[in-house]
Structure 1
Amino acid sequence: MTFARPEHSIDTDTLPRMPAWVTSARVETLEDVAFLSGAALNHLHVVLGCAEVPQALLRERCAAEACVAFSGRRERAGELRDAAHLLRPGDLPGPAGETYLIWRRAVERPVAVKALGRALSAFEPGQIATWLDAGVGAPVKRAALVLEAVLREAPRADEAALILADAALAQALGWDHVVPLLAAGLKRADLRKQGDELKLACHRALVSSAAEAVRLSTNLARRAAHLKAVAPKLRAKGAADAVEIFLKQDAVAPSVLPLPDRAARRLCNRLVDLGAVRELTGRDTFRLYGV
C-alpha cells in the first residue's frame, strides 16, 4: 500500500496532532491499552499519508533515535551519525554504530524478505520469512508473535527481533516501509516477556512511540517546507539534487553532494545561513548537516 496523497496541499502548521487523551490516559488492562495504541497508530497513519512529511528522512531519524533509546550505551545520536557517515574503508563502526547501520538498511527499502535479508545478513532469507509468517491476527498481536518467535530461536538477536516485529507491524498496517516504533518504545526487559505480558508491553510502547513519530513528522514537515522554499535561491549547479539528498537522509557529509568539495561546503554553509539545514556536530572539520 502507498499512502494516499491529499488532492490539496496541507499547511504543515495544520498537520493533525495526536489527541492528548491518547497519551495522558492511565490504564492497565490489555483491552484499554490496545484501544489507545490503535488510536495512536491510526493517527500516525493519517499523518504519514500527508505529502508534506519527508518519509525517508523520517524513517532515518526514527532509526537513529530508536538506537539511542534502546541501546543502553553511552553513544548519542552524534556518535551514531559519525559511525555511519564518516567511516573510512576498513573502519569498524562499533556495536552501537553497527546497530544503527543495520536499522538504516532495514528502513530504506520497501518491506520484503530480500530487503530485510540485506539488513540482517546474519540470517538466511528463508529463516526471516519463517519468522514473519509466525505473526497472525491484528497488527500488534502479529508483531508481538514475531518478536517472540525470533527471540525463542535466537535469544540474543534483539535487533533482528525488533526489526522483524516492526516489519510485521508495517505489513499488517499496509505500510510500504518499516517505521521503527517498537524499537523506540520497548525496554530491554520487555523483550524477555511472553504472551499477554509481551502484547501489553507492545501496546504501551506504541502509544508513546507513535506519538513521538507524529511530533517528529510535524517538525520535519515544517523544516522540509522551509528547505524547499529557499531552494530557488541556490545558484550552485547541482543544488537541486543536493536538496533532494537532504530531504532523504538524516545526516549529510558535504562529500556526498553532487558538487566539487569546496562548492559543496559553500552550499552547506549557505543553507545553514538560510536556516534550511543545521550543522549537527559542532566541529570545525568533518562536519555533518541535516534538516
Structure 2
Amino acid sequence: MTFARPDHIRDVDTLPRMPAWVTSTRAETLEDGAFLSGAALNHLHLVLGREEVPQALLRDRLALRAAEACVAFSGRSERAGELRDAVHLLRPGDLPGPAGETYHIWRRAVERPVSIKALGRALPAFEPGQIATWLDAGKGLPVTRAAMVLEVVLREVPRADLAALILADAALAQALDWEHLVPLLAAGPKRADLRKQGDDLRLACHRALISSAIEAVRQVADLARRAAHLKAVAPKLRAKGAGDAVEMFLTRDAVAPSALPLPDRAARRLCDRLVDLGAVRELTGRDTFRLYGV
C-alpha cells in the first residue's frame, strides 16, 4: 500500500533547481560574470519568494557560513562547530571571543529588516551617518552597487573586512528589494579578492555571488525539506511549550536545550524525541553540552 505525501512535503519537492548552465560555467570575463551572477541571483530571488522556505533559519545558517569565512580571513582557525559553541553555549556575562563576536555580528545583521538603524546595531563601531554614506556610494545594477560599497569601505577602513562585507550584502539586498540582508558575498571570494579595485573587484564579486547563490539555493531546498518534516511531526509532541520550541528550531541554526522554554530535563527529552523522529539533528557529536538543529 502507498500513501500520498502531505501537501507541504510535495510543495517542497517542487522548488526549482538552479539551471545546470549556471552551475557548470565559469565566469572568465566581466560580461560573463554579470550574466551568470544575474541569472543566479534571479533564480535565488524566485526561490526565496516561496512560502515554504524557512527564511529566518536560512539567514541564520548563511550567517554562520559568512562568519566562518570572515574568521578565516582574519587568520583564525575556528570552524562552524566552534563558532556555534562560542555563541550558543555562552554563559551570562561571558564574552564570546573574537571569532564568536564575528558570528554574533552576522546574526545581528540578518535578524532585522535592512535599515541604517539595524546595521548600526550590528556594527556599533561605526556611526549611522557613516553607514548611510557608505551605502549611498553604491550606484548602478545590484552587483555593481555591492562592489562599490565594498571598495569604498575598504579604501577608507582597510582592515574592516567584516563591516565591508556586511554593508555590501546590505546594498545588494536593497538593490534586489529584499527585506532582509542575505549573507552571500563573504563566503565566495578569497581574501586577496577584497584588495582588488574597479573591474577586477566587480568580477570577483560576480564570481563570489554565483557560487554563493548556488549554495544558498541548495541550502533552501535542504532546509525547506527538513522544516516541512519538523512541522509534520510537531503534532506528535505532547510537552508543554513544545510549539514554542519547534518555532525556535525553525528560525535558528542551532539550539541548546537550555535555551528552550521548558525545564532542563523536559528540554533534553524533547530534543531526544525530535532526533528519534528524524526532525532535528544533534550537531556536536558530544555526550554533553549538545546543540541541536534542523
TM-score by length of 1: 0.95
Task: Give deviations 1:52-96, integer Å, cap 9, x for gaps.
Answer: 110000001011112223422321111000111111133222222
* CA apart distance, 1:29: 1.3
* CA apart distance, 1:26: 3.0
Q: Does 1:33 align with 2:33?
A: yes
Distance in 2 (CA, whole Å) between partners of 1:285 and 1:144 is 44
- Aligned pairs (5 A) from 1:116-155: 116-155=119-158
* CA apart distance, 1:27: 3.6
Q: Which residue is 1:194 aligned to?
A: 197
Q: Which residue is 1:112 aligned to?
A: 115
Q: Which of residues 271, 274, 281 in structure 2 aligns to 1:271?
A: 274
Q: Which residue is 2:24 aligned to?
A: 24
* CA apart distance, 1:249: 0.5
Q: Which residue is 2:3 aligned to?
A: none
CA RMSD of aligned residues (A): 1.2
Q: Which residue is 2:213 aligned to?
A: 210
Q: Does 1:237 align with 2:240?
A: yes
Report the 3-state secondary structure (helix = DSSP H, G, I; strand = E; otherwise coil) of the residue aligned with 1:183.
coil
- Aligned pairs (5 A) from 1:36-55: 36-55=36-55
Q: Aligned letter for 1:289?
A: Y
Q: Which of residues 221, 226, 251 in structure 1 aligns to 2:254?
A: 251
Distance in 1 (CA, whole Å) between partners of 2:24 and 2:129 is 42
Q: Aligned letter for 1:125?
A: P
* CA apart distance, 1:152: 1.1
Q: Which residue is 1:85 aligned to?
A: 88
Q: Which residue is 1:3 aligned to?
A: none
- Counting aligned pairs with the same residue, the percent is 82
- Aligned pairs (5 A) from 1:54-69: 54-69=54-69
Q: Does 1:96 align with 2:96?
A: no
Q: Is the 8 A contact 1:75 1:96 kept in 2?
A: yes
* CA apart distance, 1:271: 0.3
Report the 3-state secondary structure (helix = DSSP H, G, I; strand = E; otherwise coil) of the residue aligned with 1:74.
coil
**Equivalent pairs, count:** 284
Q: Which of residues 167, 170, 179 in structure 1 aligns to 2:170?
A: 167
Structure 1 runs of 4+ aligned residues shifted over 2 Å read: 89-92
Distance in 2 (CA, whole Å) between partners of 1:154 and 1:141 is 20
Distance in 2 (CA, whole Å) between partners of 1:238 and 1:97 is 29
Distance in 2 (CA, whole Å) between partners of 1:136 and 1:282 is 47
Gaps of 5+ in 1: 1-7
